[in-house]
Structure 1
Amino acid sequence: MMNDELKRLLAQEEELQFTAFTHEDALQLGLIICQIAKEEIGKGVAIHIENDEHPLFTHYMEGTSKENVYWVNTKKNVVNHFGHSSLYVGELFKSQGTTFKDGANLPLSEYQGEGGSFPLFVRGQGKVGTVTVSGLAGEEDHQLAVDGIRKLLAQA
């Protein structure tokens, strides 16, 4: 039985889809997330956007550190492995009465079921990449990625 939080997270993935996702879109999305972090949250975050082949945008704002590199990579790997947001995956294990750490059987050096990485979907095509935010609490990282995508889609 799927709980309300899991349903809400899946609904976000269904809603936040592009008709196409270009290199220019990646740049705009990254800049939008930077702007929201700076102006609305007042904290620096790490932002990494890639398509399924290579990085398209990476920026580590003031206040981030090399530790954020670990979080960006481990959360992004979860999305690429499971095909859903890293927050959804973490919540899914919780809903099954376990934790990502205990239930996923994946090395924590490479995978973390913490919020902050979100799949980039193109309608009719499926997942084409990821956007990952690190520097806040997991749920806040996730929300920042979602807000950025929503704002970019509203401009289209």
Structure 2
Amino acid sequence: MSELLNTLLEQEEDLQFDAFLNEDALQLGLTIIELAKAEFQKGIAVHIENDQHPLFTHYMAGTNEGNSYWIKTKKNVVNHFGHSSLYVGESYKAKGTTFKESAGLPESDYQGEGGSFPIIVRGAGKIGTVTVTGLTGEEDHYLAAEGIRRYLNRA
């Protein structure tokens, strides 16, 4: 397994919650938005949901209807495979192919691009997703993962 894939799996192991409530979704979403403003000065969309329904959605200035497509297709990958959308896309590349060529899933519903990260509660497993779109897949992934890290490490 490549170093990148190992790093992405380690993130999923490290970035877990003891519990995840609606208020956590709100505060995590705001953390990600502030991080995007500080580091990228570009509009992003953030969508956080548990496995039942949306808990937080925000579209910054500069986003458009295309961001809704990317939210849907990235989070569907996490829900299908149980790993971050970046991990899934990179795992296909490590096999010498691409998600698009080999996943056997419709592009209209699934994209193996970075930006969606599983919400994992210790002892319960994956209970939802955090999805960011508006930058490159790697930058979207960074915002989702770093946002979770900062939220978990808050004072």
Q: TM-score, normalised by structure 2?
A: 0.99
The SS at the match of 2:153 is: helix
Aligned residues: 155
CA deviations over 1:63-118 (Å, ceiling 9, x no partner) = 10000000010000000000000000000000011100011000000000000000
Alpha-carbon distance in structure 1 between the residues aligned to 2:40 and 2:101: 33
Alpha-carbon distance in structure 1 between the residues aligned to 2:39 and 2:76: 28
Shift of 1:41: 1.4
Shift of 1:40: 2.0
Query: Which 4+ residue blocks in structure 1 deviate beyond 2 angstroms?
Result: none
Q: What are the ranges of 5 or more consecutive residues in structure 1 without an aligned counterpart?
A: none
Correspondence for 1:38: 37
Correspondence for 2:133: 134
Q: TM-score, normalised by structure 1?
A: 0.98
Correspondence for 2:47: 48
CA deviations over 1:108-133 (Å, ceiling 9, x no partner) = 00000000000000011100100000
Q: What are the ranges of 5 or more consecutive residues in structure 2 without an aligned counterpart?
A: none
**Residue 17 (structure 2) pairs with residue 21 (structure 1):** no
Identity of matched residues, %: 68
Shift of 1:153: 0.1
Correspondence for 2:58: 59
**Residue 112 (structure 2) pairs with residue 109 (structure 1):** no
Shift of 1:38: 1.1
Shift of 1:145: 0.4
For the aligned residue pairs, the C-alpha RMSD in angstroms reads 0.7
Alpha-carbon distance in structure 1 between the residues aligned to 2:151 and 2:38: 16
The SS at the match of 1:155 is: coil
Alpha-carbon distance in structure 2 between the residues aligned to 1:150 and 1:102: 33
